[in-house]
Amino acid sequence: MKQTISVLVENQAGVLNRITGLFSRRAFNIDSLAVGVTDDPSISRITIIVDSGNSVVEQVEKQLNKLIEVIKVRTIPEDNMIGRELVLLKVNATNKTRQDIMTICDIMGAKVSDISPSSMTLELSDTPDRIDTFEAMLRPFSILEVVRTGVIALQKGGGKI
């Protein structure tokens, strides 16, 4: 079961290392990790996706709250969150295939970020499942490179971390 943990921390060197260390000491893998500064440059938000049971996540939450640099920790329920991931994907493109690739982009809501005589670089921000679908649809065209950011997430409605 995938769990989304959102952590507000002081924007200081070494904080990310201490946080990820809590996960590695408990021997479970982080599926996705995204870090960015908030509207306050002294505070960063870390979004962590882990595949684990509720009891393990609750224990990690308690341990995170003990760290001095951690301001707030919240597990965001999947049915109460808006999560997005960004993918940049470079694919082989010829004069014959370019229109088919553009059609897929139009259907999926992707944007062409770069174009050359032999390739196209595409950009899509969406849910991980839709990004997986986008990638699968482009596989027949020979994908050259893929880079994904990891999920960022906010709680739906008026609630906030």
Residue 62 CA, distance from chain mean position = 23
**76's tokens:** 């965001």
Inter-residue contact 14 to 67 (CB < 8 Å): no
Domain covering 82-153: architecture: 2-Layer Sandwich (3.30)
d(CA 11, CA 44): 5
Give me the tens of pLDDT residue by residue for the chain, a chain 161 residues long. 788 999 999 999 999 999 988 888 877 788 899 999 999 999 999 999 988 766 777 888 888 999 999 999 999 988 889 999 999 999 999 999 999 999 999 999 999 999 999 999 999 999 999 999 999 999 999 999 999 999 999 999 887 77
Residue whose entry in the numeric block shows the structure tokens 């969150």: 81
Q: Where in the chain is the domain with CATH 3.30.70.1150?
A: 82-153
The pTM of the full predicted model, rounded to 2 decimals, is 0.84
Using alpha carbons, select from 87, 86, 98 the residue that is nearest to residue 141: 98
pLDDT at 63: 87
Which residue in this structure is represented by tokens 């329920």?
Answer: 77
pLDDT at 54: 65
Helix axes 98-108, 128-138, angle to 10 degrees: 170
Are residues 161 and 108 in contact, defined by beta-carbon separation less than 8 angstroms?
Answer: no
Which residue ranges does the chain devote to CATH 3.30.70.260?
Answer: 2-76
CATH architecture observed for domain 2-76? 2-Layer Sandwich (3.30)
